[in-house]
Amino acid sequence: MDQPNAETILNEEDQSNIQKFFNKSNILITGGTGFLGKILINKLLTSCPNLTTIYLLVRSKNNKSVDTRVDEMFADPMFEILKTLSTKYTFYVKGIAGDCLKPGLGLNVNDRNLLIDNVDIVFHMAATVRFDEKLKTALKINVHGAYDIMKLCKEMKNLKSVVHVSTAYTHCPRKTIDEKLYSTHNNAKGLMIMAEYMPEKLLDHVTPILLGKWPNTYTFTKAVAEDVVQIYSEQLPVGVFRPGIVISTYREPVSGWIDNFYGPTGAIAGAGTGLLRTLRCNPKAIANMVPVDLCVNSMIAASWDIYERHKKASADIPVYNFCTPNDNQLTWGEFTTKTTKYGLMYPTSKAVWYLCYSNSTNKATHMLSICFLHYLPALIIDIICLCIGKKPRLLNTYKKIHKFMNVISYFSTRDWDFRINNIQSLWSRMSNVDKDEFFFDMQQLDWDFFLQQYFRGIRKYLLKDPLETMPKALVKWNRLYWQHQILKAIVYIILMILIWIFFKNVY
């Protein structure tokens, strides 16, 4: 799709329904400097040129000011196309000092009043996405942050729509996840008080009891945050948006862009560099992955839909599960097969070994594979490093990899039935112009094209290995291939010798 000129002011008759909704609007975004937030900001600036201001809630980090962090965000190569379309893009974006970890979002009085007087649309995306986050921190950011946003929204004078971004896995203990709010049967207010006053060590001790059937603090606190939205929204024009596993861009603003190693991305990067050789997953289970640009487009459309529903005095809080449809799904087995194919097609010059990894559902088999394919080679290499006076690193690297992979194995070994009626209904009600401008129909997704671009994006943006290094990478890849084959031959010969010795001594 052609990108619109971000400096063009559209006449009202030339605007689509969604563009009209954002016309002259002031938008508050929390979590705007994150992965999802960057794509949202880029899309709003390119496709909704008549908006007034985007307010970004940004916390100071590493002694960097809010303005510095916003400037660093726009330095991401993902914004290069926007910069060619508009020289005034920063004019529309204003950083607001705040922190969801602090009471009242850490806002000062002037900034709070500014938001209350001006904001029309809210996208609340700020969250800690670490699965192993301390419960105290996760409760403060994910739960109390949602509570503070609801309080702030109640004071806003011109509020049209609030999108609370959750995750499709908030209620992962359930087999079927419908587009409705479920109760966690927890006292959200009590949990917020515990996070504020209970000593961290004591809270850590009772965390397994509080989590119950939830596998980690992330999904648990995001589920409780939905409780907060349900309890404290009180007639606000609010909706809950639940995306699946969000990975790279499909087409916009460029194909394959990604800026983090979360979820399956870390696995593919590890496999592509030859470090990861075994992945625990159920090859028949559905890999509920969605491209970040389609996710953002559906989120923007949902904000418009929330407004339209609220105008009709609907009391229900709409929920949108943005997940893969039944007639265009990808299994984990297909995912590993296709990414291996594209990994071999676009080898990286950063590889330390040839790409060759397998998947296993059985935990015991997976642990054996880890011992022989990860820890044993790492131990040998680290011993060699010690002998030649170099610092051993590989064992520690694998410990970090396994800690990360153990977290996602819960999601790669199970299946869920995600109902997507609201998302499909939203798509059907959009105009053809909006469908083109804010495309998010997962039924039309070309998985082969997408995963090819996904691997290329990991290579370029995460491994910092541009495609110009392909000739060098292919030479290295050929060498690694023969080293891999020779090592396999040596292992097979040793096994045959051991088997021969065994049978010779027995018989």
Helices (H), 261-414: 264-272, 292-311, 332-345, 363-370, 376-387, 394-412
> Rounded to an integer, what distance in angstroms lies between the CA atom of residue 127 and that of residue 145?
8
pLDDT the model gives residue 10:
59
> Rounded to an integer, what distance in angstroms lies between the CA atom of residue 236 and that of residue 383?
62
pLDDT at residue 6 is higher than 70: no
Neighbouring C-alpha atoms within 13 Å toward the C-beta of 55 = 23
Task: Map out the domains of the chain with their CATH numbers.
Answer: 12-264+287-330+416-460 (3.40.50.720), 332-413+469-506 (no CATH)
Tell the burial category of 234 from Cβ atoms under 10 Å away from its Cβ (0-12, 13-18, 19+).
Answer: exposed
- The tokens for 169 are 């896995």
> Rounded to an integer, what distance in angstroms lies between the CA atom of residue 337 and that of residue 342?
9
Task: Give the tens place of pLDDT for each residue, 275-332.
Answer: 888 889 999 999 999 999 999 999 999 999 999 998 887 778 999 999 999 999 999 9
Residue 261 sits at the vertex; the CA angle it makes with 258 and 262, to the nearest 5 degrees, is 105
pLDDT the model gives residue 49:
85
pLDDT level of residue 8 (50, 70, 90 thresholds): low
pLDDT level of residue 118 (50, 70, 90 thresholds): very high
Neighbouring C-alpha atoms within 13 Å toward the C-beta of 280 = 22
User: Rounded to the nearest 10 degrees, what angle do helices 188-197 and 217-232 cross at?
Assistant: 120
> Rounded to an integer, what distance in angstroms lies between the CA atom of residue 280 and that of residue 366?
6
Q: Which residues pair with 29 in a beta bridge?
A: 56, 123
pLDDT at residue 417 is higher than 60: yes
**pTM for the full predicted model:** 0.92
Residue closest to 126 by CA, chosen among 31, 218, 224, 33 = 31
Q: Residues 294, 330: contact at Cβ < 8 Å? A: no
pLDDT the model gives residue 365:
87
Task: Give the tens place of pLDDT for each residue, 54-104.
Answer: 999 999 887 888 999 999 999 999 999 998 887 788 889 999 999 999 999
Element containing residue 359 per DSSP (H, E): strand 358-360
Amino acid sitting at position 112: R
pLDDT at residue 507 is higher than 70: no
pLDDT the model gives residue 449:
97
> Rounded to an integer, what distance in angstroms lies between the CA atom of residue 472 and that of residue 470?
5
Task: Give the tens place of pLDDT for each residue, 168-214.
Answer: 999 999 999 999 999 998 888 999 998 999 999 999 999 999 999 99
| Chain centroid offset of residue 50 CA | 29
**DSSP per residue, 60-128:** -BTTB-HHHHHHHHHTSGGGHHHHHH-S-GGGGEEEEE--TTSGGGG--HHHHHHHHHH--EEEE----
pLDDT the model gives residue 290:
97
Q: Average the pLDDT over 214-235 and give the result.
A: 93
pLDDT at residue 4 is higher than 90: no
> Rounded to an integer, what distance in angstroms lies between the CA atom of residue 18 and that of residue 37?
19
pLDDT at residue 155 is higher than 50: yes
pLDDT the model gives residue 358:
82
> Rounded to an integer, what distance in angstroms lies between the CA atom of residue 226 and that of residue 191?
14
105-113's contacts with Cβ under 8 Å and 24+ in sequence apart are 105/30, 105/57, 105/145, 105/148, 105/149, 105/152, 106/59, 107/152, 112/152
Structure-model confidence comparison of residues 156 and 314, the more confident one? 156
With a CB cutoff of 8 Å and minimum separation 6, the contacts of 184 are 220, 223, 224, 226, 227
Residue closest to 149 by CA, chosen among 40, 251, 94, 226 = 226
pLDDT level of residue 498 (50, 70, 90 thresholds): confident
With a CB cutoff of 8 Å and minimum separation 6, the contacts of 329 are 286
pLDDT the model gives residue 132:
87
Task: Give the tens place of pLDDT for each residue, 461-493.
Answer: 999 999 899 999 999 999 998 988 998 888 889
Tell the burial category of 136 from Cβ atoms under 10 Å away from its Cβ (0-12, 13-18, 19+).
Answer: buried
pLDDT the model gives residue 419:
97
Task: Give the tens place of pLDDT for each residue, 354-401.
Answer: 888 888 888 888 888 888 888 888 888 888 888 988 888 888 888 888
